[in-house]
Amino acid sequence: MLKKYSKYILLIIFVLALIVRWWYLPKNAITFAFDQGRDAYVAQEILSGDVKILGPSVSGVQGFYHGVLYYYVIAPAYFFGQGDPIYVAYWLSFLNSLLVFVIYFLVAKMTSKALPGLIAALVFAVSFEQSQYATWLSNPAMGVWFVTLLYSGLYLWLKVRKNYYLLLSGAAFGLAIQSNVSFAYHLVPIAIWVWYSRKDIGRKQILWLTIPFLVAVSSMILVESRFGFKSLEGIKHLLGASEGETPLLLGSFLLAYVNHMGDIFAHNLFPFASSLGGLIGLGILTKYLFKIAKGGYRYSLEIKLLVSWILSFLIAASIGGTNIPHIGAGLGVGLIILVAFFIWELSYRNKWMASAFLLIILMANVVKIASENHKGQTIFAIQKDMTLANELSAIDYTYQSSKGEPFSINSLTSPLFINTTWSYLYGWYGKSTYGYTPFWRGKNQVGSLGDNLPPPDKSVTRHYLIIEDMEGIPPIYFTYAVGEEDARSHKIDERGFGELLVQERVVEGEE
């Protein structure tokens, strides 16, 4: 009976996923910092006909670049939204919500039952972590889609040995690396499963897996060949401690790994308490490890696949990956499917207990989303108050307090002295709303994306200093920036927008 109506229930779950992800978007509740401003500019350049093959740079690793795919994914949304980042958030969250169908299909294939598939799709729809990934304007967020497709293709090949599933897995792996090069660590579980199935793996199967992978990363290979394979230095940096760095000790590594995985478990199961959510996830994972170790379990292959999916991050953690909050993108989906198995099997013994457990997970996630998502993508943001809502309010203040008169701005930013974020916002929102942009009275922006604000002449005396959320900015630079402004202007007002500060000033010599 349930299977007969499953497609209608699944459609309702999909709509629920959209509602959860779009809940706060009308209030501009998205994180928009330097990375988002940079990506917005590059997307605009693509729309103007400038073909790109180089993706975003990898933070902290010189010579390393992600794939260019993300720019082409967001470009249409910037086109239809006329530069508005919220349209990108709607678009990305719509794509993320489509995964409810993939998850249902995968779990239904694993169990030949509709109920566990619907449970997995439902938990994914309201997961706090997945809602954060869905509206995060950053290339690693695409890893949720492609990592899920990678393991889906791998499982389906293991189950039915149809080679076109290897094509799906290889392409998805390549696209995951396009999203973020750190997702290359999924090569380890792929290699393990290839070895596990070595009796059924020949040259033909390797080609089915490898060729779509190479096509998917072809733009990255082209970039490497063009720039002399500079990423090799980045790989060398990742695999060993650089000069002056302390190697990661075994105890520290294990603690960091467990804590990171605990956060992933909690953000999908019980996001109010990381320790409790982590224990719930760890308990379920341990239960199934013992179950498959005993042998004779009907779903042994399925659980082994899920365990390899969930624990795949272990390799990346050993080279410092625990410092990157988004490196586990997609692992939560594997956990959600494992939890769906647990709830489904529990329902055979005690329907009320299974229903109560599911209800607690759903309520905990929905309440967390209601209390947290209006702040933007807090799991990933370093500068927590760099939300589009705060930024547009700050921009409105500068225009409204200047009363239509020309004015100049300066900004204290992360990265230091790079005005990309504010140049984009003033160029898009400020100009379209108020008809003009301010002048720039700060450090030279030549060579930076967003060098679009002209210097003022002597008649422009109204001036604003924008001070971003100081997280990630050494405090000494606050003193430096204010001191520099005090030397040429005096403050007449100051407003806060979350942790954003805007000082209204008058350049010395004229009121």
Q: What is the reported pTM?
A: 0.92
Q: How confident is the model at residue 452 (pLDDT cuts 50, 70, 90)?
A: confident
Give me the mean pLDDT over the 151-178 stretch. Answer: 95
Residue 174 lies in a domain: yes
Residue 460 lies in a domain: yes
**Quick one: what percent of the chain has pLDDT higher than 70?**
92
Distances in Å between the alpha carbon of 272 and those of 71, 129, 335? 34, 12, 18
Segment (H or E) for 505: strand 500-507
The answer, yes or no, to whether residue 253 has pLDDT greater than 90, is no
366 and 437, same structural domain? no
The answer, yes or no, to whether residue 263 has pLDDT greater than 80, is yes
Segment (H or E) for 232: helix 231-239
439 and 320, same structural domain? no
219 and 116, same structural domain? yes
Closest alpha carbon to 104 in 89, 115, 96, 94: 115
Residue 347 lies in a domain: yes
Residue 65 lies in a domain: yes
Q: How confident is the model at residue 4 (pLDDT cuts 50, 70, 90)?
A: confident
Domain extent at residue 397: 388-507
Least confident of 251-260, 360-369, 379-388, 436-445: 251-260
Domain count, the chain: 2
Give me the mean pLDDT over the 191-202 stretch. Answer: 91
346 and 207, same structural domain? yes
Q: How confident is the model at residue 236 (pLDDT cuts 50, 70, 90)?
A: low
272 and 188, same structural domain? yes
Residue 380 lies in a domain: no
Q: What gap in Å lies between CA 321 and CA 314, rounded to an integer? A: 9
DSSP letter, residue 329: T
Residue 497 lies in a domain: yes
**Quick one: what percent of the chain has pLDDT higher than 90?**
75
pLDDT value, residue 244: 44
356 and 210, same structural domain? yes
Q: What are phi and psi of 367, to 5 degrees?
A: -65, -40
Distances in Å between the alpha carbon of 229 and those of 54, 225, 427, 506? 13, 6, 36, 51
Q: How confident is the model at residue 323 (pLDDT cuts 50, 70, 90)?
A: low
Q: What are phi and psi of 381, to 5 degrees?
A: -70, 135
39-43, 180-184, 221-225, range with greatest mean pLDDT: 39-43
Sheet holding 462-467, edge to edge: 439-440, 408-412, 462-467, 500-507, 489-497
pLDDT tens digits, one per residue of 5-26 = 889 999 999 999 999 999 999 9
Q: How confident is the model at residue 243 (pLDDT cuts 50, 70, 90)?
A: very low
445 and 347, same structural domain? no
∠ Cα 257 263 265 (to 5°): 100
319 and 202, same structural domain? yes
The two structure tokens encoding residue 169:
């897995």
286 and 342, same structural domain? yes
The answer, yes or no, to whether residue 145 has pLDDT greater than 90, is yes
Q: How confident is the model at residue 1 (pLDDT cuts 50, 70, 90)?
A: low
pLDDT value, residue 241: 47
